[in-house]
Amino acid sequence: MADKPLGTEVCFCTQCGSPVTTLSPAGDHHLRYVCSECDHVLYENPKIVAGCVPEHDGQILLCKRAIEPRSGYWTVPAGFMELGETVAEAALRETREEACAEVELGSLLAIVNVMRAGQVHVFYRARLPAPEFAVGEESLEVRLVPIDAIQWEDIAFPSITIALREYLRQRSAGTDCVHTETVR
């Protein structure tokens, strides 16, 4: 077993402010940060990133990232799911925030485990009913890109490449399945 829990380093308890220690609580098979005073256990679990691949008339809505990591590279609308929303609502919200666009979500497209980041990326198919969008505050530029003009080397993250590639592959094949993949 490693000598500390995976994920963000924790030094103090969120409940009482005392220093934490690392141990595997009774009945638990994982090392955790546990408060040395009040025994509160500080869990960290994988986060969900929700996004979609919006198509309008043979073109895909792409956003040039304005923030790190990978500022200046291109992505489909996607971001961290929040408490109080469904996965689909998170994908719609991210599309609003990054591209100022209202899309209609379709079926589930892909689930990508992104191991190093401790994330699970969930992508939906989506339809942009009209070419109405704008540059959201986390974007430098937003564009409808014809399928054969996608600059694959400028895509921000492997999971985005996977979602786009799978969207186009299944679009050609006429299938509507959920693709699962793991990025180590």
Positions in the binding site for a copy of itself (CB under 8 A): 5-8, 10-19, 27, 29-30, 42-48, 80-84, 86-88, 97, 108, 111, 113, 115, 118, 120, 122, 137-138, 178, 180, 182
Of 14 and 151, CB closest to a copy of itself: 14
- State the nearest-atom distance from the C-beta of 184 to a copy of itself, in Å: 10
- State the nearest-atom distance from the C-beta of 130 to a copy of itself, in Å: 25
Q: What is the 3-state secondary structure (H, E, C) of the chain?
A: CCCCCCCCCCCECCCCCCEEEEECCCCCCCCEEEECCCCCEECCCCEEEEEEEEEECCEEEEEEECCCCCCCCEECCEEECCCCCCHHHHHHHHHHHHHCCCCEEEEEEEEEEECCCCEEEEEEEEECCCCCCCCCCCEEEEEEEEHHHCCHHHECCHHHHHHHHHHHHHHHHCCCCCEEEEEC
Of 47 and 143, CB closest to a copy of itself: 47
Of 56 and 179, CB closest to a copy of itself: 179
